[in-house]
């Protein structure tokens, strides 16, 4: 494996510098003037199988931001898929622009780019991409999953993602408190979108003491009415007295500005890339004695769901049973991290890399 300090061939900030330092296999740049499509597809690692990860549509401020996002997200997918026990590698795509660009031709053109990779990359939905968009992509490629139920797909993966997050939260509670009961625990759920909303259903059943926040007031009031949760302003959520902080909105909410303010003993939520800087902020959480359930480990329910659909053997019961295993995996990683006195994020990445490496060796023989 090349190291980033091999400066003879890698210049800082260069495309090759970035993909070398994060150890990606491939970065594909796609453009089509007729439809206005500008997309990047990153394939991080295909040792375990085809690189599966969703497509994100986002109006990035500049190209560098889009490159950085697709590289970080695809690397995260390799670790997520590995820890979930899937025979799938890690990849991700980003489309640069706003949802107004989407139409049949735009999505089908993107589908043809995916098809041209011959199965090395398999797409699904992510931010600003819906199951209905996958239908157009599927007209041009077999390498797409996450289709609507009425098109033979498994539908929205969010309920399964929420179940996995719930399992991860319970494992973290077991580690922090010696019991996985969440009854009476003060839990703050940030973001009451798809994942947050389904997660709350489990937490209500456990009789947790719930706080919720979102930037959409209407949605917030509706969810508060359904769950009995207390509404908190989105700016003060980090300052609340709480046992568990559950980030279920955007990434990078664990950063220099927020970590000092947090008074919780556990962080467990569904958002991707919660640590703004995975090394520095993972270490800060360890120093503060907060039990952190790594995001890519506990939000894998969605990819377990779309992965089963891709392999054509989708059974809801099996998908939930596989997702339930997140509890055991999370607990064993939290225990390993505590034993070695290292951040949980680091322990989770080491476990993922170890599976990829050992399966790579298995594949050396016919």
Residue reference for tokens 């980090």: 238
Helices 158-177/301-310 angle, 10° precision? 140
Query: Min. distance of Cβ 31 from ligand NAD in angstroms?
Result: 25
Q: Cβ 308 to ligand NAD, closest distance in Å?
A: 14
Q: Which is nearer to ligand NAD, 46 or 274 (CB)?
A: 274
Could you give the residue ranges of the DSSP H alpha helices within 22-157?
63-83, 104-116, 131-138
Q: What is the closest distance, in whole angstroms, from the C-beta atom of residue 17 to ligand NAD in the complex? A: 26
CA–CA separation, 168 vs 325, rounded Å?
Answer: 9
Q: Which of the residues 38, 80, 92, 102 is marked catalytic?
A: 92
Closer CB to ligand NAD, residue 89 or residue 146?
146
Nearer to ligand NAD, 10 or 240 (CB): 240
Whether 92 is catalytic is: yes
Classify residue 130 as exposed, middle or buried by CB count within 10 Å of its CB (0-12, 13-18, 19+). Answer: middle
Measured at CB, which residue is nearest to ligand NAD? Answer: 193
Exposed, middle or buried, 42 (CB in 10 Å: 0-12/13-18/19+)? Answer: buried
| 3-class DSSP state of 25 | coil
Nearer to ligand NAD, 250 or 336 (CB): 250
Residue 158 to residues 29, 125, 192, 322: CA-CA distances in angstroms? 29, 11, 12, 15
CB of 295 to ligand NAD, least distance (A): 7
Of 10 and 66, the one with the shorter C-beta distance to ligand NAD is 66
Q: What are phi and psi of 190, to 5 degrees?
A: -100, 110
Shortest distance in whole angstroms from residue 6 CB to ligand NAD: 33
Q: Which residues bind ligand NAD (CB under 6 A)?
A: 157-158, 161, 190-196, 213-216, 219, 234, 248-251, 270-272, 299, 302
Say what angle helices 326-340 and 158-177 make with each other, to 10 degrees: 40
> If you ran DSSP here, which 8-state letter would residue 173 be given?
H
What residues act catalytically? Answer: 92
């Amino acid at each position: 494996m090349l190291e980033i300090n091999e400066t003879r061939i890698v210049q800082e900030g260069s495309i090759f510098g970035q993909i070398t330092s994060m150890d990606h296999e491939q970065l594909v740049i796609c453009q089509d003037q007729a439809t206005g499509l500008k997309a990047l597809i990153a394939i991080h690692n295909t040792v375990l199988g085809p690189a599966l990860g969703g497509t994100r549509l986002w109006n990035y401020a500049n190209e560098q931001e889009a490159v950085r996002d697709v590289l970080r997200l695809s690397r995260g997918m390799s670790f997520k898929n590995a820890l979930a026990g899937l025979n799938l590698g890690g990849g991700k795509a980003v489309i640069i622009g706003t949802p107004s660009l989407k139409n049949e031709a735009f999505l089908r053109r993107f589908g043809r780019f995916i098809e041209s990779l011959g199965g090395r990359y398999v797409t699904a939905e992510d931010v600003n991409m819906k199951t209905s968009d996958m239908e157009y992509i599927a007209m041009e490629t077999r390498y797409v999953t996450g289709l609507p139920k009425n098109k033979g797909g498994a539908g929205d993966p969010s309920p399964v993602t929420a179940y996995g997050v719930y399992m991860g939260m319970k494992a973290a509670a077991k580690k922090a408190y010696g019991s996985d009961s969440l009854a009476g625990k003060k839990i703050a759920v940030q973001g009451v979108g798809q994942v947050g909303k389904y997660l709350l259903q489990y937490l209500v059943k456990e009789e947790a003491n719930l706080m919720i926040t979102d930037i959409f007031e209407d949605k917030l009031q509706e969810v508060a009415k359904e769950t009995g949760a207390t509404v908190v302003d989105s700016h003060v959520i980090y300052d609340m007295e709480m046992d568990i902080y559950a980030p279920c909105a955007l990434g990078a909410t664990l950063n220099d500005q927020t970590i000092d303010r947090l008074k919780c003993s556990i962080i467990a939520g569904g958002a991707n890339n919660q640590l703004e800087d995975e090394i520095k902020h993972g270490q800060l959480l360890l120093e503060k004695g907060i039990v952190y359930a790594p995001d890519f480990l506990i939000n894998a329910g969605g990819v377990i769901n779309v992965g089963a659909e891709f392999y054509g053997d989708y059974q809801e019961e099996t998908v939930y049973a596989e997702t339930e295993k997140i509890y055991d995996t999370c607990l064993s990683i939290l225990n390993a991290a505590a034993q070695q006195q290292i951040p949980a994020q680091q322990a989770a990445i080491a476990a993922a890399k170890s599976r990829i490496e050992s399966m790579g060796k298995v594949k050396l023989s016919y």
